[in-house]
A and B are shown apart, each in its own frame.
Chain A
Amino acid sequence: MDFSVVIEYFPKLLEGAWVSVQLIFLSVLLGGIFALPIALARTSKNPFVNGLPFLYIFFFRGTPLLVQIFLVYYGASQFEVVRESVFWPILREPFWCAIIAFTLNTSAYTAEIFRGAIQAIPVGEVEACKTLGMTKVQMYRRILLPRAFGIVLPAYGNEIILMLKGSALASTITILDLTGMARTIIARTYTPIEIFLTAGVIYLAISMLVIAIFKQIEKRQNSYLGPIGSIKVPDKG
């Protein structure tokens, strides 16, 4: 084992980690934005409204992320329409292809998480909104979405961690993210254990950061439940 390579290549690995963080941040942000309307459509009882989001979620949850990345990266360029469109400068870039694939994938998962949270709100609290004469928009904007936000946090934090690990697949389409960078270094130095171990530690550090951030948000958002660990059950009497 030769850990001097770690010291030598650590800045390069951090460079890769930065690309990974950008990938996750952008796709989680965009995915979260797209997930909301998908989730709301999914909670509709109208089959014309909930049908399309159902298929969307079904496809992106049911196929491997790697296949989705390849479909965007290799698939889209087959069509001349795409190559001649204004989107080509974007679709030509592996980075943006990865962002597109990740966003589509995470928005499907996140939509399901949001839907679950919205439907987990006790029906009585929804009825309370109705009896005050709120419109649907007021009801969601003022009460249900903020309420669902607190419920969604633990599962959503989990989805971001999964996305972080899934982002390693970006290395398959020539992106020098943390994994991609590690593989490039190893091809030069033949030190897989040292470099992959280091990469693993960096992934862990990012995960811990995400977990810590979510714990803070959860603590603030769900303060009405009392301190974590002593969750107070509302007494009946």
Chain B
Amino acid sequence: MSNASVSRIPALELNNIHKTFGDVEVLKGISLKAYDGDVISILGSSGSGKSTFLRCINLLENPTEGEIIFKGEQLALTANKSPDLQASSMAQLTRMRQQIGFVFQSFNLWPHMTILDNVVEGPANVLKRPKQEAREYAEFLLNKVGIADKKHMYPSQLSGGQQQRVAIARTLAMDPQVILFDEPTSALDPELVGEVLGVMRSLAEEGRTMLIVTHEMNFAKEVSSEVVFLHQGLIEEQGTSKKVFEAPESERFKAFLSSTF
């Protein structure tokens, strides 16, 4: 770590990620670096592999090949009988997962626990913080995402937009270094999309490092520091938000833009 100050270490570095489902190669070698404060939007039509790529980062999906390096520390992967790579050490994987937040398309709150308990769970029982401290922090975060008044309700009593904001609070409660968003607004009614994007926008403004798989073009354009367009498992277009949206090079990305705007 002695030369850390000299060369900037990416918060997250992914090298040559491959993923095969049966005979179908979904990811054909994707590399990406995210530095602290980067907000990277990952775009692509459905089936382009963008969600799979995101899920490979914290091994919700096991990549077939590739390297995952988190803050300079490489996640040890081993190949066994199955074609996929497995984490060599569960301890290392869980430690990394604790620092990499993940927000799902379908929220995935635990329905039998109150909103507050959903958010308290991480800091209290995974990070082992004192109960009272975890609770206060959870209340602070629920307030931040605008759900404080519903903390004693159950997830099924909330709208989708509210559930997603709780899910974001649950992720924030772990104080993650990087947050991965997997189509966070795709399961929402159009009028509820704005409230979730609003929360994400404020997180971006705080300088949090985020990787966002999304279909919200305007949001991607305004908030991202970098945009990546995937096509059939490969990066087709990549660059700053300004460059990519104003002067795209790839014909496919141009076609994609004209079909979505």
> Which A residues have a C-beta under 8 Å from some C-beta of B?
122, 124-125, 127-128, 130-136, 138, 142-143, 146-147, 150, 221-226, 232, 234-237
Pick the residue among B58, B97, B106, B157 that contacts A124 (CB under 8 A): B106
Tell me the minimal C-beta distance from B55 to chain A in angstroms: 9
CA distance A188 to B113 in the complex (A): 58
Write out the residue numbers on chain A whose beta carbons fall within 8 Å of the beta carbon of B44: none
* Binary per-residue interface labels of chain B (156-181) against chain A in the complex, 1 for a CB within 8 Å, 0 otherwise: 11011101000100110010000000
Write out the residue numbers on chain A whose beta carbons fall within 8 Å of the beta carbon of B163: 234
- B:76-111 near A, CB below 8 Å: 90, 94-102, 104, 106, 108-111
* A122, A132, A232 — most chain B CB neighbours (10 Å): A132
- Given the known interface contacts A147-B112, A224-B111, A224-B156, the answer about A134 and B189 at a Cβ–Cβ threshold of 8 Å is no
Write out the residue numbers on chain B whose beta carbons fall within 8 Å of the beta carbon of A150: 112
Write out the residue numbers on chain B whose beta carbons fall within 8 Å of the beta carbon of A143: 110, 121
Tell me the minimal C-beta distance from B148 to chain A in angstroms: 19
> Which B residues have a C-beta under 8 Å from some C-beta of A?
58, 60, 90, 94-102, 104, 106, 108-113, 121-122, 125-126, 154-157, 159-161, 163, 167, 170-171, 174, 187-189, 191-192
Is there contact, CB below 8 Å, between A131 and B102?
yes
Is there contact, CB below 8 Å, between B97 and A132?
yes
* Closest partner residue, chain A, to B161 (CB atom): A237
Is there contact, CB below 8 Å, between A128 and B110?
yes
Chain A binding surface SS class = helix
* B90, B112, B156, B160 — most chain A CB neighbours (10 Å): B112
- Given the known interface contacts A224-B156, A226-B156, the answer about A133 and B110 at a Cβ–Cβ threshold of 8 Å is no
Is there contact, CB below 8 Å, between A147 and B159?
no
- Given the known interface contacts A125-B108, A237-B188, the answer about A225 and B156 at a Cβ–Cβ threshold of 8 Å is yes
Tell me the minimal C-beta distance from A47 to chain B in angstroms: 13
Write out the residue numbers on chain A whose beta carbons fall within 8 Å of the beta carbon of B97: 130-133
Is there contact, CB below 8 Å, between A124 and B108?
yes
CA distance A94 to B111 in the complex (A): 46
* Closest partner residue, chain A, to B103 (CB atom): A131
